[in-house]
């Protein structure tokens, strides 16, 4: 039986272009995920897989009943995620509205606001650490403003807001680009029709622009919420979870459990709980915002 040359050509193209990516995805993402699922139920130091001892639900029982530090980091990460998502998207949307106008310098300003996203998280964290500790301290001495003289990374409350400030500063520019792309796609005819009907700027924004850019809002909320929940590098470089463990994120807690304390079984158990929480929150957010999307 002869093979169809066209179908054979399509199969070959799919294999050549999709095959390598699929293989790497299976090796880098899928295989480690199932291995982590297995090690969730073991006691393992991370060195010799043969020494992994099956312990059943002991790790999960420990996390849910005795590990108060994990739930402290979970509560910190949840608060951080909520505040960061709101502030990042509010700042990004405001910048997008401002830079979507016909300004001579709008391209330069877009580049300036986007640049913080290019800087790596660890490097950015160390830069802001210097700003908080040395820069603000010097400004406080020169100006006498109490806001600059705060111990920004030295107390639980100020450390929380310090990380929020850096996260928003780094992420808002990227979300701004997504919002700008959505605003450019809003039909001018609808905006002109709304103005002719006597709608104010606020009414146009609320009733025309926002419903039409809901796909962009869905994407931005998803990205900011998942990135905020997985925040690790800024936390490590700015506060290292301090003072004490008051500003320790879940990702940093898992890292220390597995790579510092060499308790990989317990670390993977926490990682699985973390994965389920992030998946539940992000899927719920996407489903809710998807229902509010409309077509132009």
For each of the domains in the chain, give its residue range(s) and CATH number, in order of start.
Answer: 60-186+213-290 (1.10.3720.10)
What does pLDDT average to over the chain?
86
Is the pLDDT assigned to residue 105 strictly greater than 90?
no
Asked if 180 contacts 99 with a C-beta cutoff of 8 angstroms, the reply is yes
Is the per-residue pLDDT at 87 higher than 80?
yes
Q: Is the pLDDT of residue 203 over 80?
A: yes
pLDDT higher than threshold 90 for residue 156? no
Residue of higher predicted confidence among 48 and 136: 136
Q: What is the dihedral of CA 246, 251, 256, 258, to 10 degrees?
A: 150
pTM: 0.86
State yes or no: pLDDT of 2 exceeds 60.
no
Instruction: Locate 18 and state its tokens.
Output: 């999709």
Higher pLDDT, 180 or 143: 180
Any idea which of 52-61, 70-79, 133-142 has the lowest mean pLDDT? 133-142
pLDDT score of 294: 63
261 vs 175, which has greater pLDDT? 175
Residue 269 CA to residue 228 CA, distance in Å, equals 21
At residue 67, the pLDDT reads: 87
Q: Identify the band that residue 1 occupies on the pLDDT scale cut at 50, 70 and 90.
A: very low
Mean pLDDT in residue range 251-262: 89
Average pLDDT over residues 207-216: 87
Determine the pLDDT at residue 149: 75
Q: Residue 82 and residue 172: Cα distance in Å, rounded?
A: 15
Q: CA–CA separation, 229 vs 283, rounded Å?
A: 14
Render the burial of 177-190: b for 16+ CB within 10 Å, e for the rest: bbbbebbeebeeee
Write down the pLDDT at residue 70: 92
What mean pLDDT is predicted for residues 248-254? 92
Judged against a pLDDT cut of 70, whether residue 3 lies above it is answered with: no
């Amino acid at each position: 039986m002869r093979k169809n040359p066209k179908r054979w050509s399509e199969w070959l193209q799919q294999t050549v272009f999709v095959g390598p990516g699929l293989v790497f995805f299976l090796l880098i993402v899928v295989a480690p995920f199932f291995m982590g699922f297995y090690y969730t139920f073991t006691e393992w130091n991370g060195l010799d897989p043969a020494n992994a001892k099956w312990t059943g639900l002991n790790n999960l029982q420990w996390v849910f009943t005795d590990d108060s530090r994990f739930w402290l980091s979970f509560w910190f990460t949840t608060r951080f995620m909520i505040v960061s998502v709101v502030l990042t998207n509010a700042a990004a949307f405001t910048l997008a509205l401002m830079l979507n106008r016909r300004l001579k310098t709008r391209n330069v300003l877009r580049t300036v606001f986007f640049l913080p996203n290019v800087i790596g998280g660890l490097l950015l964290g160390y830069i802001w650490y210097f700003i908080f500790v040395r820069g603000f301290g010097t400004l406080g001495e020169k100006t006498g403003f109490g806001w600059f003289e705060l111990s920004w990374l030295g107390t639980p409350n100020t450390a929380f807001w310090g990380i929020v400030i850096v996260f928003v500063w780094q992420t808002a520019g990227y979300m701004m680009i997504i919002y700008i792309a959505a605003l450019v796609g809003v039909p001018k005819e609808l905006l002109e029709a709304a103005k002719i009907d006597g709608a104010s700027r606020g009414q146009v924004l609320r009733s025309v622009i926002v419903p039409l850019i809901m796909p962009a809002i869905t994407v931005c909320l998803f990205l900011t919420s998942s990135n905020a929940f997985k925040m690790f590098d800024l936390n490590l470089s700015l506060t290292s979870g301090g003072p004490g463990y008051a500003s320790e994120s879940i990702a940093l807690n898992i890292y220390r459990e597995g790579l510092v304390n060499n308790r990989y079984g317990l670390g993977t158990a926490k990682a699985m709980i973390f994965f389920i929480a992030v998946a539940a929150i992000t899927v719920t957010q996407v489903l809710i915002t998807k229902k509010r999307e409309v077509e132009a």
